[in-house]
Structure 1
């Protein structure tokens, strides 16, 4: 099974933007770990912006 390139780029951009991590550092993560960071960032953003 392959992972959509545009989705991978979106995850990388999201994590890099919020945590200022480099491309190699983000790509070295396991997929499930990167998705967990994406989820955590989204949760933080929702709380900051009045959600939940």
Structure 2
């Protein structure tokens, strides 16, 4: 199974924006690990938005 380039760019951009990590460091992660960070960031953002 291949993972779409657009999806990879979106995930890398999302994590890099929020954690200020380099794209290379993010791309070096296994997909499952990168996806977990995406999910955790989304959960943090959801909690922050609900508190407002």
What TM-score bracket applies, with the shorter chain setting the length? over 0.9
* Structure 1, unaligned runs of 5 or more: none
Name the count of aligned residue pairs.
51
Q: Considering only aligned residues, what root-mean-square deviation do their CA atoms show, in Å?
A: 1.0
TM, length-normalised to structure 1: 0.94
* Structure 2, unaligned runs of 5 or more: none
Runs (4 or more) in structure 1 with deviation over 2 Å come to: none
TM, length-normalised to structure 2: 0.94
- Higher relative helix content: 2
User: How far off its partner does 1:6 sit?
Assistant: 0.2
Alpha-carbon distance between aligned partners in 1 of 2:48 and 2:14, rounded to the nearest angstrom? 16
